[in-house]
Amino acid sequence: MTISVGDKLPNTTFVKATDNGPEATDSDTFFKGRRVALFAVPGAFTPTCSAKHLPGFIEKQDELKSKGIDEVACTSVNDPFVMGAWSKSSGAEGITMLADGNGEFAEAIGLTMDGSKFGLGKRSQRYSMVVNDGVVEQLNVEAPGEFKVSTAEHMLGNL
């Protein structure tokens, strides 16, 4: 079952990539009591993710915060070391990187994809969502191969 607007996020584990190394957290704790703009990419360092998706949220994070977003976060089925390296190489200061290394979160919300033909295995679909105190307020899931509705610009237009 795919998560929908109005649903509470399931409690799963993330590992935040921080300057001090990996830091485990769970989704209940991370999203509690605040409004988070979360976007998911199939993989760190992949072409669309690196050239468009992450840069769009880096560029628009202040505008998102001016519309009531407390934090902007990116998740991917990658390990926290890869997410940390991607953050540093992309200049993603201010974006929280949430590693979903085992795909537990993507699976729990029903937004996985099979990237096996590209050597990627099971990954997260590309999407963005606004989560308000653990509840999905806005959800923008891309069609396969598309990059339209999960952008920071699209999210801003719907806030």
In angstroms, the CA 109 to CA 116 distance is 20
Q: Read off the pLDDT of residues 127-147 as tens digits, 9 standing for 90 and up.
A: 999 999 999 999 999 998 899
pTM strictly above 0.75: yes
**Annotated domain spans of the chain:** 13-157
pLDDT digits 0-9 by tens, 3-26: 999 999 999 999 999 988 899 999
Q: Which architecture, in CATH terms, is 13-157? A: 3-Layer(aba) Sandwich (3.40)
Neighbours of 128 (CB within 10 A): 26
Q: How confident is the model at residue 115 (pLDDT cuts 50, 70, 90)?
A: confident
Catalytic positions are 49
Q: DSSP letter for 36, please.
A: E
Q: How far is residue 154's CA from residue 57's CA, in Å, rounded to a whole number?
A: 11
